[in-house]
Structure 1
């Protein structure tokens, strides 16, 4: 969704921030529902929208009159992001532990031989 930054109005910039709030809110719900596939899809939309925002020159952002509106939207974005991280981190930690355990099992099987019919080959 890249946009040419030179022609963005103040309301267009606020609309981009609002779109990011909407996306991060949906990401929060997906994380609460443990819908990780949907969360990944939303994450891609988030990255694309943030890249659009990054394309706006800093001087243009600094000249905008609605700093308080942008600050409020940024707080919402950061709150949603923190909630997603809090919800996802325990699952990522469990996945990491499972991968470590699987790696240990593979090492042991290599050292002591693989029983016939094993799925860890």
Structure 2
């Protein structure tokens, strides 16, 4: 990262994508969510090394922590929205030796 502005722009990009992910989850647009997860992963990976050399003032640290809090809140909300879907899918798989058949029934009817 070349500057603190770039550094914060990166955190803001991550927060923006997490907000888009939450919006997709609220609309049950799971395929969109999956695509956004890939973008999210790339942004987070790119930030890992940049985080090492940046010195932040107290105000800047507060800004960074607020962005992180927002990202984590979005993540928690996404998990809450996805949990019922995951529970239904898990229930379908229990007691069956043919998970491929279950998936075919779920997605083949679309």
User: Residue 107 of structure 2 aligns with which residue?
Assistant: none
Between the two proteins, the alignment pairs up a number of residues equal to 96
Q: Stretches of 4+ moved more than 4 A in 1?
A: none
Q: How many angstroms apart in 2 are the aligned matches of 1:26 and 1:57?
A: 24
Match of 1:16 among 10, 13, 16: 10
Distance in 1, Cα, partners of 2:96 & 2:24: 28
Relative to 1, partners in 2 of residues 1:67 and 1:57: Cα closer, same or farther, differing over 3 Å?
closer
Q: Separation in 1 of the partners of 2:63 and 2:6? A: 13
Distance, in Å, in 2 between the alignment partners of 1:57 and 1:96 is 38
Normalising by structure 2, we get a TM-score of 0.81
Name the TM-score, length of structure 1 as normaliser: 0.74
Q: Does 1:32 align with 2:26?
A: yes
Structure 1: runs of 5+ lacking an equivalent = 107-121
Structure whose alpha-carbon radius of gyration is higher: 1
Q: CA RMSD in A?
A: 1.3
Alignment gaps of 5+ in structure 2: 99-110
1:49 aligns with 2:43: yes
